[in-house]
């Protein structure tokens, strides 16, 4: 289950050399625009894994893996949230552009890309508490520029959760719903469409339980 948060950035410092520091996300408080709250400790395991491997989350421009604009030098949790320190690559055009835009205040967003490992859902309020995240990358973004992609990603993730609950209850899904469920679990559009046709039309009963669907997904992905 993949997701990118809405842009949130609190710049603490920005140097002419390209070094900067800020918060990629904050803990607790009111739910964000998508009904999520990130719990303290959500990044601890992921940051420990990065440290053990000698790696860091990637620093991209607008979540585009083809446009790295520097590197993160430090990442840690404090009482406020996820504090990051990085350095923009001033030898590449996009890095210089990002620096100029940040310095001028024309852009003011960071957005984190991650896999959700553990979460809980308040069924009454619909609020998701993200408890454990695998941090993949943190991008410099234009606030609002990726809003549609963010919304669609969040909708897919939450739809997958709701459909999983229906499968557990033994409900029958339509082909479109089953396809949406698979997309929320990480399949591409073409994979999900093919899987839905094979499973629903080839096997008759779409899903008697979530375990059946998960077993099918594992088999499909090898």
Q: What is the pLDDT of residues 185-218, one digit of tens each?
A: 666 666 777 777 766 654 444 444 445 555 555 5
Exposure letters 189-206 (e unless 16+ CB within 10 A, then b): eebbbebbeebbeeeeeb
Please, what is the angle between helix 210-221 and helix 189-196, to 10°?
A: 120
Model pLDDT, residue 108: 75
The arithmetic mean of pLDDT across residues 46-51, rounded, is 97
Choose between 94 and 105: higher pLDDT: 94
pLDDT in tens, 119-174: 888 878 878 898 999 999 998 887 643 344 444 455 566 667 777 777 778 777 77
Q: How many CB atoms lie within 10 A of CB 127?
A: 16
Q: Specify the higher pLDDT residue, 193 or 22.
A: 22
Given a cut of 90, is residue 75 above it in pLDDT? yes
Cα–Cα distance, 130 to 122 (Å, whole number): 11
**Predicted local distance difference test score (pLDDT) of residue 2:** 47
In angstroms, rounded to a whole number, what is the distance separating the alpha carbons of residues 134 and 145? Answer: 24
- What is the CB neighbour count within 10 angstroms for residue 181? 28
CB 135 within 8 A of CB 48: no
Predicted confidence (pLDDT) at residue 38 exceeds the cutoff of 70 = yes
What span, in angstroms and rounded, lies between the C-alpha atoms of 71 and 51?
A: 15
Torsion of CA 152, 45, 42, 155, to 10 degrees: 10
List the structure tokens of 109: 């967003």
Q: What is the mean pLDDT of residues 54-82?
A: 94
Domain borders along the chain are: 2-144, 158-221
> Residue 17's CB: how many other CB atoms inside 10 A?
10
Tell me what pLDDT residue 123 has.
Answer: 78
Neighbours of 37 (CB within 10 A): 19
Percent of the chain at pLDDT above 70?
A: 71
For the ranges 17-21, 32-36, 85-89, the lowest mean pLDDT is seen at 32-36
In contact, 74 and 101? CB cutoff 8 Å: no
Across the range 108-129, mean pLDDT stands at: 84
> What is the pLDDT at residue 58?
96
Which range among 2-6, 84-88, 121-125 shows the weakest confidence by mean pLDDT?
Answer: 2-6
Place of tokens 């669907």: 213
Residue 67's pLDDT is 96
Mean pLDDT, range 176-190, rounded to an integer: 70
Question: Quick one: pLDDT at residue 198?
Answer: 66
């Amino acid at each position: 289950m993949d997701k990118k948060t809405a842009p949130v950035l609190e710049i603490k410092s920005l140097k002419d050399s390209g070094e900067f520091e800020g918060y990629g996300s904050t803990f607790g408080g009111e739910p964000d625009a998508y009904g999520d709250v990130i719990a303290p400790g959500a990044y601890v395991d992921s940051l420990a894994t990065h440290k053990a491997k000698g790696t860091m989350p990637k620093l991209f421009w607008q979540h585009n893996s083809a446009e790295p604009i520097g590197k993160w030098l430090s990442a840690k949790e404090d009482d406020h949230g996820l504090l990051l320190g990085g350095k923009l690559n001033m030898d590449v055009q996009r890095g210089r552009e990002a620096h100029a835009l940040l310095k001028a205040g024309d852009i003011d967003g960071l957005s984190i890309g991650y896999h959700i490992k553990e979460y809980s859902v308040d069924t009454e309020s619909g609020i998701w508490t993200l408890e454990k995240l695998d941090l993949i990358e943190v991008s410099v973004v234009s606030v609002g520029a990726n809003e549609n992609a963010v919304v669609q990603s969040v909708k897919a993730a939450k739809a997958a959760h709701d459909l999983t609950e229906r499968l557990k209850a033994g409900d029958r899904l339509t082909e479109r719903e089953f396809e949406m469920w698979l997309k929320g679990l990480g399949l591409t559009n073409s994979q999900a469409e093919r899987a839905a046709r094979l499973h629903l039309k080839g096997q008759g009963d779409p899903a008697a339980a979530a375990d059946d669907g998960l077993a099918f997904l594992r088999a499909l992905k090898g």
